[in-house]
Structure 1
Amino acid sequence: MDFSDIFFPRERKCMAADLSPSVHWAQRHITKRSKEYPERLIYDHELLYVQTGDIEVYVNGKVYHATTGSLVYFGAGVPHRIKVLKGNEANFLGIHFDYFDEHDVARDEDIIVVEPNPRLERFCAEPKIEELAVPSEIPVRIPPASIVAAMEMVIEEFTLRQTGYEAIVRGYMLQIVVELLRVPSGEAMETSHLVKLEELRQWIQQHYSSDCSNTALAARANWNEDYLAKLFKAAFGLTPNKYVQSVRLREAKRLLRESALSIEEIAGLMGYADLHYFSRLFSQREGIPPREYRRLASVY
């Protein structure tokens, strides 16, 4: 069947009170490098939280970068796949779900599209609620801690399946989907702004050693600095400066563990010309200086 003229995920206009999410599959799982699944379609929606790993995410022909701490969203009917970039594997929290309790699942084939001519009505809808975001438009994001904690509880309850687990799972999923739909500041944010912010976050992930000052980032987004800072904090929970620091320190820790580069060389690669400033920043964040972190990492 030709779906070329249909936009996925299919939208369903509704009110927040109409949401009744159900979970079809929830697990902690590992994807091995070179053993990733091929490009696929799913009937429902999927959330993948990257617990550890560095991956490329392919969604509808576009490529995104996701690392430890990222949340990946795959919408129903949207072609997607992942690729592990560094190390041998990536570890995930994974949940397949729908928004309106509209999909019955008895086997894997009820989630993943394997039939040559799938029926359009089997693809789950995505809510379109006035003044709220559309989750599928931001395939990779940094989630608030509350979403991660709720995902962990969904997986635990879904795995143990104790009496009444369905109600508990539904409650946690309702929290997750509302947070996905709602801008953290409580203010409506234009979709175009969310897309631009995500593009900016992806740029930081790949160019963290470049000039990532508020001035430079604002110029890339064509916004003034105060406006950038306000929108970035609302979307990701961190100021641009704090986010850049977190990316740089994450990469610095990786190099301290995995390379023989000197601490001064690592500081330079992270965009810090002043070694003392880098060491002070590292110590404030990690509780120990870079040299001690490297020594302990070699022991364990």
Structure 2
Amino acid sequence: MSSPRLPKRPDHPDLTAAGEEFFFPDVRTTVNLFAIHTRSVGRDWSYPPHEHPQYEINVVLTGEQIMVVDGRSYTQREGDLVLLRPGIVHSSHSSGEGFTYFCMHFDIDDKLFLSLLSRLEQVLFPAEGTVAGQMGPALSKLLDLSALEGMGAGGDSVAKRMRIQSAVFELFATLWEAVSSEAAHLPGRGYVQTELAHQIASRLQGRVNQPFGQVGSVEKQDGIEGISSELGISVSHCNRVFRSVFGVSPRVYLSGLVLHEAKLLLADPQWSVQQIADMLGYGDIAHFSRQFKRWSGQSPTSYRKSAMQESPSE
């Protein structure tokens, strides 16, 4: 039976027919979600001052609440969104009538996303504004999950948890898109340079992920020049911005990626050192050996022996 063929979109070429490949970016983001809930409260409800080590998203669904953040009072009406950074003291109470709200606490290890969030000084995003307006559909999708059978405290199936995570990632993506344009205008180095540095890092990773036999070539200066050209910046600016964020030059960062790939291959006994050199784009095994020893302090053969000794026996 032949494998199913995806329909061709008019705005995308048929990569299979063209014999080309497309590599999606690696995803290594970890997100922890805490106390996701909706709650309806009465006119006398209040929550005392507190803080927590996670970010918090709070949205009023119906009615109105008073949120006090670092001593400043905000009136949060239906559809208004509050974004709280970790460690911020805040409290809330009814404004005289009952209301319903949605709350979610989270932490995330994406440095670029954290850089953006940390630079936002705004706490309250009105319902009629860009941020809350664009996040509305993604938030509604997340809230709709609460209506599914078994999604309460006892609903712990893998499928249900995956649907929650999917909806939350969509919410984060929308949040990113909604606030990026605002954050880009903030003063200082943070967002603009951090985003550019991560774009450079993503392209370096993409070079390493390309087909075997081409990886070694990206170590050369034309690899950095190619990335600089793609981003419309000079090589010197590329190096300066990348070093300011990652602490090393793009070339050193790339060497670390290639070294990691080489170590993975050397740990697999089915490949000879010559084959690994060929796969990584070093047709000359002596060149590969010199590079590997310069990176790691060991020859490829010595590393392989030590790796085999450390591997647990079957």
Q: TM-score with structure 2 length normalisation?
A: 0.40
Q: TM-score with structure 1 length normalisation?
A: 0.41
Which structure would you say has the larger Rg? 2
